Amino acid sequence: MDILSRYRDSSIENIWNEDNRYNLFYEVELAYLKAEAMLGKIPADIPDYLERNRPPFSAEEIQNEEKITRHEVVAFINVVSRKLDKYTEYFHRGLTSSDIMDTVFSLQIKQSLRHINALTDETIKVLTEKADQFKHNACAGRTHGVHAEPYFFGLRFLTVAVALKRSLNMLAALEQSIPGKLSGALGIYTNLDPDIESEFLRILGLSALPVSTQIVPRDVYAPVLFYLALEASILDKLAQDMRILQITEIGEAQEEFKRGQAGSSAMPHKRNPVRWERISGLSRVLRSQVNVALENVPLWFERDISHSSTERIVYPLCFDLIAFMLKETKSLVSNSVFDSSRMLANMSNSKNLLYSSRALSVIQQKLGREAAYKRVQDLSRQVLDGEVDDFIEALRSSCLLSEEELQSITDVSDLHAKVDLIYERAAAFLSN
């Protein structure tokens, strides 16, 4: 059963499918010969010929050969060599299988990161557009799930955009620094010239390692999964907030719900936040894979192969899922409905207790901090316990504030300039 059919990204699938992988095998072998030719080790017409006369081969052919060899790279070399009419003696000369497989793995990761980083950048743009739309829309801020102070709805999108930008910066750095290797068995260049590795990696656009074993050390790759999982957690944070805002009693958000869509098989009125819930669920899968990457770091001595089977699963899986989640987030932010009138109604339902800290700030200038806090807390208690209907009325009855002061603490337009400053700082960060 194809368990990923719901969450597949075609670009990631094309990068990680077997036909592309074996084509990269050939590209890497060819890059080695080009590097040798550039350094005068072999005639230039050898890599030129092998590039012009690239033989057709398929993953199926190589997999059938592997049933005999039980070694993937040997199977690849056998299939390709049979199809070449000359220069096969130069193919894979002095190399070990990890020179090919790890370098190809790095190329696949680099290609995948380029795609994910582009999707992340698109998602950031959509989030900033929505943040601008609701920049000065007042709403109830919540800490511990409880009304705290007046807040501005656009900041909910802006904080996620900035968090994704932090993640993007790390993933972009990883994309630029992913290394390959051409250091042979045990990484000590037994049958290779170290100068060739530098040229080889330059051709492929990969970084060089100061030291390797027979493989690229797996601590190099582990951060990739960590930062993909971190990005998934950032999307999960937004998804959870949007799910809570869609609770009936809050009702400030409504996930896109198309005509003909069903929310429940039993309750026709339901409009459930199923796509946001899907993002939350998939983030759990992504986070769970980080441990696999860490377990792959402590391999035996100069190499073992226990990492290989896991990497064939977890890296394409994680890239597939994060690509899907980014596209879902982009669509949901663009097409969901956000109800400004409900935001104001929810603020009103707080019986104006959201303004307690603004009241405290004014009153403490008259009474001092400790006395002012006790008075405002007692007035708040009266409202919470139902002794008084409204916090502003409780303040008015206390005679602690003038009518002008009462009006000033409920008018949050004085915060607009401060919000503008936050947006300016965010814009500067996002533009770098």
Can 280 be counted among the known catalytic residues? no
Q: How far apart are the first and last CA of the chain?
A: 44
Among candidate residues 5, 10, 144, 431, the one labeled active-site is 144
Q: Which of 177, 264, 340, 402 is catalytic?
A: 264
Is 115 annotated in the active site?
no
Q: Is the sign of the CA dihedral 22, 26, 28, 29 positive or negative?
A: positive
CA distance 52 to 324: 37
Residue 318 and residue 329: Cα distance in Å, rounded? Answer: 16
Q: E strand or H helix at 133, and its extent?
A: helix 97-133
Supply the DSSP string of 43-108, one letter for each residue.
Answer: -THHHHHHHHTPPP--HHHHHHHHHHHS-HHHHHHHHHHHH-SS-GGGTTTT--HHHHHHHHHHHH
CA-based nearest residue to 20, from 134, 108, 92, 98: 108
Helix (H, G, I), strand (E, B) or coil at 136: coil
Residues 6+ apart with CB under 8 A from 78: 65, 69
Structure tokens that stand for 290 in this block: 């980080």
Residue whose C-alpha is closest to residue 395's, from 366, 425, 355, 428: 355
Query: Helices 154-177 and 97-133: crossing angle, nearest 10°?
Result: 160
Contact 184, 196 (CB under 8 A): no
Contacts of 427 (CB under 8 A, 6+ apart): 128
190 phi, psi to nearest 5 deg: -55, -45
Residue type, 379: L
Tokens of 63: 């997999």
Q: How many other C-beta atoms lie within 10 A of the C-beta of residue 363?
A: 23
Catalytic machinery residues: 144, 264
